Chains A and B, each alone.
Chain A
Amino acid sequence: MAEQSPAIIKVCGLGKEFRSSALFSRARVRAVWDLNFEVRRGEIFGFLGPNGAGKTTTLHLLTGISKPSAGSIELFGKAFRCPQTWPLERIGFVPENTLASEYLTVTEILTFFSRIYGLTDDVTIDRIQSLLEMTGLTQERFVLVRKLSMGQRRLVDFMLALVNDPDIIFLDEPTVYLDPLAVERFREAVLILKNRGKTIFMSSHTLPLIEKLSDRIALISKGRVLKIGERQDFLRQGSMEEEFLRLIKEDR
């Protein structure tokens, strides 16, 4: 199914440079460069890489948080250069580390973010209800965010990304802080979203998660793509962990 779908994200020669943090230095540090890949509509795309490979930078570029230094990004078949013109209503993002307004309850914070999208009260109530059911946090809907466990807060982050019913969902290390039970619930939620036709771009260095969920995978190291292909391509040499370690070591 996913193979026949058109590309919903198309990245060509994407690069991002940052100014060196050293004092008085004019040097530029390349976080990612010459990234080329496509993500097809309705697939779960695993974005795999070791720490510091450039995964979060790539996600920031794809979500319009950062401005690319080079290359282009096409979303929904349209090229975007300036973050101001990004189709922000149609994307959702779960950042790696978040600091949600802890003085709000789960329902209040979801309502706050849905108001940013200009959703009506009826739509907001329905959407919050369905998100709470999906993540299993219905009991905690009136609990202050600061009183939730780290795992539950992560699920709140997940709901915040879905509040606008986006077509593409970007996930950055989504299962960090989650216990195995919550990971299982998260996996089920991701599969529900896939069945609803959503495209999921999942960045992680947690190999079992990527292995179980992804249709296609890109392996990134030192800011560039080392390998991209179907999940089976990464399992030919044995396990995904073996393939991951082999490619990363070869790249050193």
Chain B
Amino acid sequence: MKILFRSWFLIRLIGHDVYRGALREKMMYSFLLLSFLFILLANVPYVVNDPGVFENQLPMATALQVGFVAINIFILLIAVFVSLSTMQNYLAFERLELLLFRPLRRWQIMAGVLLGLYKMILINWFLMTAGVWLVIVSHEPTLAFFVWKGFSVMALLGLLYVSLVVFFYSLLPNVIAGVMAVFVVIAGFGVPSAGRAFAGLSWPQLLEQMIGLALRLLPQIHALLAIALKELLIFRIPIAPAGYLFHAAFLMILLNIVACLIFERKSQF
């Protein structure tokens, strides 16, 4: 038990240091500022106040859609670029050298990096969601708590993006890690189409099973976005969230464990 507490203490310590490092990334503030400019557009349907312009959609629905797109894009950008830049700084050998001879396991360093980046992405998600929420509550006679519930899926997505970047960075410690993470996210969008495309061909059974497994393992971004849209009451999508949320959380934990193990092994210089 004492070892577990000590481990958690060290991970939190490194995590806080990584978080402080991430907050120094000027890029993050640029993205955040841009996202706020985007989120401000959510005011437009209320200002125009003409349902005909927005295909008779309620102003709140249009405002939520704007917020949804803004958070979706900027969470991905922040997760990929800020995480990558923070890791390149934090895991540079000249900095690691100061940590490696301390009573600290190498996987704890990586776990701390993950924790710090998670903290950074959650703060960004909170600020962006608060922006959308403020726009809504300033125009509607409701506290609209479902906005937080709906956008919480975006927080999960943000954490998943960070896990993907960290995982690929542990394999390839350079910018290619970011490219790979984006590829996986794009692939995650296209899982249903890819599934249909492969199903129409007569593959040997083993190959078909392997492709099926690979598609199931990919983060189901399409489904998570659908859950967010459903919770935001924008569309009535018939989807059961539990399975997809569990899948995302499982994938995240799996990626994190593998990243920590790879780092533990690769940092034995």
Contacts and interface: CB of A to CB of B under 8 A. Distances in A.
B222 interface: no
A91 interface: yes
B102 A99 contact: no
Interface in A52-111: 60, 63-67, 83-84, 86, 88-89, 91, 93, 95, 97-101, 103-104
Contact of A98 (B17, B24, B94, B103): B94
Contacts of A64: 100-101
A78 B120 CA distance: 43
Contact of A116 (B13, B92, B269): B13
Nearest to A63: B101
Nearest to A89: B103
Contact of A95 (B17, B89, B98): B98
For A65, A100, A118, the residue with the greatest tally of chain B CB atoms inside 10 Å of its CB is A65
Contacts, number: 63
Contact of B104 (A63, A99, A116): A116
Contact of B98 (A91, A100, A104): A100
Nearest to A67: B268
B212 interface: no
Contacts of A99: 89, 92, 94-95, 98
Q: Specify which of B24, B89, B98, B268 lies most central, judged by the most chain A CB atoms within 10 Å of its CB.
A: B98
A98 B95 contact: yes
Interface residues of B, number: 23
Contacts of A157: 98
Nearest to B89: A99
Nearest to A90: B103
B149 interface: no
Nearest to B103: A88
A42 to B, nearest CB: 21
A217 B267 CA distance: 31
A142 interface: no
A18 to B, nearest CB: 9
Nearest to A61: B269
Interface in B2-46: 6, 9-10, 13, 17, 20-21, 24
Nearest to B16: A112
Interface in B96-119: 97-105
Contact of A91 (B17, B21, B101): B101
Given A99-B92, A112-B13, A65 B101 contact: yes
A130 to B, nearest CB: 20
A115 interface: yes
Contact of B13 (A66, A67, A97, A115): A115
A103 B21 contact: yes
Contact of A117 (B17, B92, B102): B102
A102 to B, nearest CB: 8
Given A67-B268, A83-B268, A117 B103 contact: yes
B21 to A, nearest CB: 7
A91 B269 CA distance: 19
Nearest to A92: B101
A99 to B, nearest CB: 4
A88 to B, nearest CB: 4
A160 interface: yes
A182 to B, nearest CB: 20
A101 B23 CA distance: 13
B102 A101 contact: no
A224 to B, nearest CB: 20
A93 B99 CA distance: 10
B103 A116 contact: yes
Contacts of A65: 97, 100-101, 269
A183 B222 CA distance: 62
A177 interface: no
A33 to B, nearest CB: 17
Contacts of B105: 84
Interface in B192-216: none
B265 to A, nearest CB: 11
A88 B104 CA distance: 9
Given A65-B100, A116-B102, A60 B10 contact: no
6 contacts: A60-B269, A65-B97, A65-B269, A88-B101, A104-B20, A116-B99
Interface of B: 6, 9-10, 13, 17, 20-21, 24, 89, 92, 94-95, 97-105, 268-269
Given A64-B101, A95-B94, A116-B104, 15 more contacts: A65-B100, A65-B101, A65-B269, A66-B269, A91-B101, A98-B95, A99-B89, A101-B17, A103-B24, A104-B20, A113-B98, A115-B13, A116-B10, A116-B102, A116-B103
Q: Nearest 3 pairs between A and B by C-beta?
A: A99-B94, A63-B101, A99-B95
